[in-house]
Copies of this chain bind each other. A is one copy, B any other.
Amino acid sequence: MDEFKYHYQYPHPAVTTDCVIFGFDGTRLNVLLIERGIEPYKGHWAFPGGFIRMDETCEQCARRELLEETGLSTAYMRQFHSFSSVDRDPRERVITIAYYALVRLSEVTGGDDATRAQWFALDEVPALAFDHDLILRRATTELRKQIHFEPIGFELLPEQFTMKQLQHLYEAVLDVKFDRRNFYNKMLHLGLLAEQPETLARANHRDAKLYRFNPESYAELKQKGFRLEF
Contacts and interface: CB of A to CB of B under 8 A. Distances in A.
B15 A11 contact: no
Interface in A55-75: 55-59
Interface stretch (A78-86, A163-171, A196-204, A216-224): A78-86
A93 B14 CA distance: 12
Given A6-B12, A15-B95, A54-B93, 18 more contacts: A3-B9, A4-B8, A6-B7, A6-B10, A7-B7, A10-B51, A11-B54, A12-B14, A12-B15, A15-B15, A52-B84, A54-B86, A55-B86, A56-B86, A58-B95, A59-B84, A82-B82, A95-B97
Interface of A is mostly: loop
Nearest to A94: B12
**In the A-B complex, the 4 residue pairs with the closest CB atoms:** A12-B12, A4-B7, A58-B84, A57-B84
A215 interface: no
A118 to B, nearest CB: 28
A37 interface: no
